[in-house]
Amino acid sequence: MSARFGGIARPPGRPKGARPPRGEAREASYGGIIRRPRAVILDMDGTLLDTEPLAARAWSDAAALLGLAFDETLPPRMIGRTFADCRALVVEQHGVDYPTDRLMSGWHVAYDAIVERDGVAIKPGVAELLDWLDRESIARAVATSTRRARALAKLEIAGLARRIDTVVGGDEVARGKPAPDIFLAAATRLGVEAAHCVVIEDSDAGVLGALAAGMATIMVPDLLPPSAAVRRAGPLVVATLHDAIEHLAALPR
């Protein structure tokens, strides 16, 4: 197990797979996760699907096709954010006279072309995680900043739709991540209290939103390491979904 990205995946000297001793359950290394969850809420892009690099390429492709200048520092800031939030970031960076709506429409076209050409890859450990949730009879939801219709289509393409109990899209809540709305909506649809949910996320925005919802959180960073603010918030940070499974499986029921 790796402690990459600055998170403490397992305290030094603890045998692999060992449970935390009594009284240690709320150490930062375990992210406040003290027992097996009744539900796991999963981010989609960057957590289940290896799509964040595709999204970044689509912004560049769309801008090039339209002959527009585009600030390449924007895509990392868009990770985990709703489409409306991404639009606001473009306007903030390029100004109100920039053809933002043309770029946004062009992004959809460019992204769909990339997916059609290259497909959608599943992140390592996804199948094993879903298998473990099946064996443990743990409910699961996807809470994604992607619009619901597009999220369902992507999950179907990836062959994961049938393995998810419910999906909440970014267009179904008033506020996107890092607000807690989408995670609370997912818990409500599953019929599980927030305190009995664990969220698995790859982005700063997602982690902060999950913690704001009062949910224990595991971060599996994708393109970016956790920010200082996220590290201070104390989620469990691990390198892979396989590591996340190991920690969940080691928890008492």
Active centre residues (catalytic): 43
**CA–CA separation, 207 and 213 (whole Å):** 10
Q: Which residues are CB-neighbours of 144 under 8 A, at least 6 positions away?
A: 43, 44, 45, 151, 167, 168, 169, 170, 182
How many whole angstroms separate alpha carbon 213 and alpha carbon 179?
8
What does DSSP assign to residue 163? G
Largest Cα separation within the chain, whole Å, is 61
Alpha helices in the chain (DSSP H): 52-66, 74-78, 83-94, 100-118, 126-135, 148-157, 181-190, 204-212, 228-233, 241-249
Collapsing DSSP to helix, strand or coil, 120 comes out as coil
d(CA 201, CA 251): 19
Q: Can you give the length of the chain in residues?
A: 253
What's the CA gap between 114 and 175, in Å, rounded?
A: 29
